Amino acid sequence: MAYDNNSQKIVDYIQNFARKHSLFVLAYGTGCGAIEIPPTMTSRYDAERFGIRGAATPRQADVLLITGYLATKTLKRVIRTYEQMQDPKYVIAFGSCTINGGMYWDSYNTINMLDKYIPVDVYINGCMPRPEAVISGFVKLQDEIQAGRADGWKKYQDNLEEYRANQKKIIKNWTMPDFNW
Amino acid sequence: MTDTLNKENKLLEVLKEEFKLLSGKVKRSRRVEVVIENEQIIPILLFAKERLNYIHFSHMSCVDWIEEGKFEVIYILWSPEEKINLLIKTKVAREGEDLPNIDFIWRQANTYEREIREMYGLPFDGLVGREEFILEDWDEIPPMRRDFITNEYVSETYFEREGREDAKDVREQILGRTDEKLPDFAKKYSRD
Amino acid sequence: MREKSTTLYIGPQHPGITGNMMVKLQVEGDTVVKAETHVGYLHRGFEKLMERRNWLQSFTIVCRICVPEPDPNEENYARAVEEIEGREVPERAKYIRVMTLELARIASYLLWYGGQAGSAGLYTMPQWSVGDRNYILDLFEDLTGGRIYHMYIWPGGVRRDLPKGFKDKALKTMDYLEKRIDEYDKLLFENSIFQKRAKGVGIIDKNKAIEWGVVGAPLRGCGIKSDVRIDDPYEVYDKLDFEVPAMEGGDVWTRALIRRFEIRQSINIVRQTLEKMPGGEFYNKIPNPMKWKIPAGDAYVKTESARGEFAYYVVSDGTNKPRRVHVKGPAYVHGVTLLENLLVGENISDVSFIMNSLGTCPPEIER
């Protein structure tokens, strides 16, 4: 088959359609937002209706859910986890504290802007966001995936040096292996 | 009132006989507070544990009194029989002095001591265990000391998103603008 | 022949771990020979932040210390401030506080049901109990406006009075939950997998338990009747009629049974508070919060939370900001020294099972 523009569009459409309906979320509760994940996943709100379910390891996950503030010690592990995940991968930042620091804007141990360290596709604000808000955030991510706009992982590859500089500013003892894809 | 605080007063009497207390008082029912020199910590803790049966180590805390140049360390014990919390307080200089390690009396004291060592930089004589308990690669002054200014550190280290000014007092700016009035409720809650 | 020992890291990214923490295990074959808890992944420096905030601003951040059950924190902080200042609390506010605390305790136990069963591989249980927990969160939403963080119990009383029709709704929910406990029994306690996994695992030595600093349900699971609600009564617990269960055993199974009985007692207390609640004021108004100064002094207060004794040590230096607020959650001992000692000799697959039964909650350890 000749690779013209139109058939590429069809392939993209099918790919994106498949991706958006099976979002495997990494089971990593980085902050207090993890408390609203069990209600979202269980009977009343039942996120599995949207094809959202948990994955145990980074290699099998599509979505990294940053549930709340990130302490600098966790940031190191989050970066490592994010780099272990396979493309395409998406990041949902959960809670006001990932946007601008929220309650902990003057804390010496938590970062204030998550998108300076790893690319973020969708932000969900609130402290704490309700399960409805979480689901709405996921639906927004699905729309973005379908439209082909959820390309944070490409941004990370393109601007790796900039992200690395920001990360190394905080993580003083950098002992992680180099990221290559 | 004196009848109800019988056992608390009795405890204070016993401690006064046995040790040279700097001060001692019954704060309220079930709370007794004594202040001692820091050489007497191990004797008084052992006495309370072995003889008075204060076998539960509830809490250990540290307060930075930077004006005096002292740290105040508080040991809180609980007796399951008497049902009294005994607060033992002592002061130690911020620099150059250390406190004895007590994790051979209660092993959970090890956790508290490691935290105080990390957060205040107060050394404990003979304390073993990992240096890093909560923080990682921290090279500033210990963060819980009063002279560590957290918001200065934050503005140097982390990014601040624009629009975060709402956390500051904007009332003076509003007053400076034309056509805008400070609402009455805002005047009432002035910061000074 | 002695097997070769290997280092195994469980966490921070691990589905079985309770919260964001790490346990470094030294294992020989399947058996743990040494365990070490690493915390600090959730450290926000609350106690530093409170030095910069005034007394009322601090109240809004204390509830964020413990996520599954924030109300004991608020209550502790409020009571410590009241004790230093000598502020009176209206009787109605005390009853509302007790009711809130008990609702929070039930919610926390329902979440624990899910975690404990989930760590044994029984995934139906979380679907039921976490689903039912939403009914209590609905009550909280009616009462306070928030599902998780309520910011409801503040110095001087509570923030709002009971909304209209709350009593009927609460009683209805209690009736429903009481029926559900029997169904949970069929699902969890009569399940032979759970029985085999839980009996004889993670035994705490009864003679050493108090000395090791064990509190709450794990201590009562050793057969020692110890509860802050009875030993050091606060609010109106001395006017209420309830029992504290204690059972011999000290293993995961006994701790699970204790929690199961406590849900019933909590439901009972909620009913009693709703019946006995007097009318009148619910809030003793504080002055202008920007200028509100607390006289110099200190207070040590404690509350029985779902996981054990929650204690606050609050120091005031006479200004409008706290000098020091030190928080000690039950997990501070359970999650570090106790866990490190209990895990020795256990199977790797029981690690998260034991952690769940102790209620290890890392935000309390590092705050």
Per-residue pLDDT tens digits for C204-231: 888 888 888 888 888 888 888 888 888 8
B175 is a domain residue: no
Cβ(B35)–Cβ(B20) under 8 Å?
no
Q: State both tokens at B57.
A: 């180590």
B101 is a domain residue: yes
CA gyration radius for chain C? 21
Total residues found in chain C within this entry: 367
**How far is residue B79's CA from residue B72's CA, in Å, rounded to a whole number?**
23
CATH number of C5-366: 1.10.645.10
Q: State both tokens at C138.
A: 């609905």
B189 is a domain residue: no
**Check: complex ipTM more than 0.90:** no
How many Å lie between the alpha carbon of B111 and the closest alpha carbon of chain A?
19
- Local confidence band at B81 (pLDDT 50, 70, 90 cut-offs): confident
Segment C137-143 shows an average pLDDT of 89
Range of the structural domain that residue B59 is part of:
6-162
- Local confidence band at C2 (pLDDT 50, 70, 90 cut-offs): low
pLDDT of residue B1: 46
The pairing of strands C322-328 and C308-316 is: antiparallel
Cβ(C169)–Cβ(C143) under 8 Å?
no
Chain B residues closer than 8 Å to C324 by CB: 61, 63-64
CA gyration radius for chain B? 23
How many Å lie between the alpha carbon of B192 and the closest alpha carbon of chain A?
22
Chain C residues closer than 8 Å to A32 by CB: 42, 64, 67, 363
Residue B81 belongs to domain with CATH number: 3.30.460.80
Q: State both tokens at C56.
A: 């009322």
Note the pLDDT tens digit of each residue in B86-142: 899 998 888 888 888 888 888 888 888 888 888 888 888 888 877 778 888 888 888
Query: Is C111 in the A-facing interface, judged by CB distances under 8 Å?
Result: yes
Do C300 and B87 make contact, defined as CB atoms within 8 angstroms?
yes
pLDDT of residue B172: 60
Cα angle C320-C325-C329, degrees, rounded to a multiple of 5? 155
B55 is a domain residue: yes
- Residue ranges covered by each domain of chain A: 20-170
- Cβ partners under 8 Å of residue A180, min gap 6: none
pLDDT of residue C175: 92
Cβ(C228)–Cβ(C309) under 8 Å?
yes
Note the pLDDT tens digit of each residue in C270-280: 999 998 888 88
Q: How far is CA C360 from the centre of its chain?
A: 10
Query: Is C39 in the A-facing interface, judged by CB distances under 8 Å?
Result: no
Provide the angle, in degrees to the nearest 10, between the axes of the packed helices C91-118 and C71-85: 150
**How far is residue C364's CA from residue C215's CA, in Å, rounded to a whole number?**
14
Q: State both tokens at C327.
A: 């928080």
**How far is residue C355's CA from residue C353's CA, in Å, rounded to a whole number?**
5
Note the pLDDT tens digit of each residue in B41-77: 888 888 888 888 888 888 899 998 888 888 899 999 9
Cβ(B150)–Cβ(C49) under 8 Å?
yes
Q: How many domains are there within chain B?
A: 1
Tokens 């890093």 sit at which residue?
A: B132
pLDDT of residue B185: 63
Assign residue A176 a region (left: φ > 0; alpha: ψ between -120 and 50; beta: otherwise).
beta
- Report CA-CA distances (Å) from C121 to C16, C184, C192, C194, C197: 10, 15, 13, 9, 11
What percent of chain B has pLDDT above 90?
A: 2
B11 is a domain residue: yes
**How far is residue B85's CA from residue B95's CA, in Å, rounded to a whole number?**
30
Q: Which residue has the higher pLDDT, C346 or B189?
A: C346
- Local confidence band at A1 (pLDDT 50, 70, 90 cut-offs): low
Give phi and psi for C6, each to the nearest 5: -125, 150
Chain B residues closer than 8 Å to C232 by CB: 30, 83, 85
Cβ-count burial of C206 within 10 angstroms (0-12 exposed, 13-18 middle, 19+ buried)?
middle
| DSSP reduced 3-state for C93 | helix
Strand partners, B56: B78
Q: Which CATH class is domain A20-170?
A: alpha beta
Chain B residue with Cα closest to C313: B61
Chain C residues closer than 8 Å to B107 by CB: 212, 337
Segment C251-259 shows an average pLDDT of 89
Whether pLDDT at B165 is above 70: no
- Report CA-CA distances (Å) from C137 to C143, C153, C174, C259, C263: 10, 16, 13, 19, 16
Considering only CB atoms, C336 lies closest to which of B58, B63, B111, namely: B111
- Local confidence band at C135 (pLDDT 50, 70, 90 cut-offs): very high
- Local confidence band at C307 (pLDDT 50, 70, 90 cut-offs): confident
Whether pLDDT at C82 is above 80: yes
B96 is a domain residue: yes
**How far is residue B132's CA from residue B137's CA, in Å, rounded to a whole number?**
8
Whether pLDDT at C15 is above 80: no
